[in-house]
Amino acid sequence: MPNKVRTKNKRGLKVVAIVFALLFALFAGFQYNDPDPEVWISIYGLAALASVMALVGAARPWFLWLMAALYVVAALYQWPPHFEGFLLDEMGMKTVNIELAREAGGLAICALAMGILAMYSQQITANR
């Protein structure tokens, strides 16, 4: 039974890791015209790299949990003082608070992805 679970988890990890790697690479590409592209390309690039590491089995669960925790802390730090929404129907920065909310949302997506990868990785490690 553990071999079936492990195989299923490995397949799930591979699919999720590929999706996240592509998603974060795309996010990083969108940051090219951002006012501070070096920050956001690095943030999303690191998430893409961690996803690839999980895909090839080079990321340990503790590393992915640490990444998730760091992204959560960054998202909380980035949260705007006055939430005005995300205003997703239009591009461009309408207010500083909307931009901060969008950035915090991106960091929260990274945290969620790292948490999902960590759970898969931890299940695979536990079933060895």
pTM of the model: 0.88
Neighbours of 10 (CB within 10 A): 16
Provide the number of structural domains found in the chain. 1
pLDDT tens track for 23-75: 999 999 999 988 889 999 999 999 999 999 999 999 999 999 999 999 999 99
Domain span including residue 24 = 2-126
- Residue 91's pLDDT is 64
Cβ-Cβ contacts under 8 Å for 6 (sequence gap 6 or more)? 124, 127, 128
